[in-house]
Structure 1
Amino acid sequence: MKRQKNWTLDEQLELIRAVGERKCQIMGKFSATVTTQTKRQAWDEIYRAMGCLRTPDQLQQCWRNLLKKTRQLYSLFKKHEQRTGKFIVFLS
């Protein structure tokens, strides 16, 4: 199977927006209203809304990667915020 192209910034922003609209379903704790099935349905809705060639599993993986990068940057920011002197963040 051939490797797909990297996610573009527009694709990532669209994914962030779509997940934000379904935040309670996707990131909510399991309960009577939030089940594995409702979470899967939410990802399928995002898949259809984005109209892209990526699968729901790829959407979830990209979302997990975005969360991981965000947490790392936030941790780095908090670490350097407590220091004195100048702080410059280089985003890659």
Structure 2
Amino acid sequence: MSTTFNVFRWSALGAGIIYGAYHRYSLESTHAKKEAAKKWKHEEKLIQQAKDEYKKLNEPKTTTPTKPTSITTGSINWEDPNLDLGKALDSLLAKLD
């Protein structure tokens, strides 16, 4: 065999090894990125499920609706816990006019 052929053969072998290593690295990198994206989406799904469950467990309890106090008619019930003092005073001032 000639020396030129051996140089060409070993150069091709070296180039093939380098290309193979680069190609494997790119495939592994792509696969790792896909796996990270898949894991991220799974975690987002779990977080959303937890938020929905938290909302379901901590919904405000609705009781019987209370009647809004009507300040414009009749006397004012000063013992009412839902009394709006500003509206009550405005209605008293309106009665004075």
Q: Could you tell me the TM-score, scaled by structure 2's length?
A: 0.31
Which structure would you say has the larger RCO, counting Cα contacts within 8 Å and 6 or more residues apart? 1
Q: Which has the higher helix share?
A: 2
Larger radius of gyration: 2
Q: Could you tell me the TM-score, scaled by structure 1's length?
A: 0.33
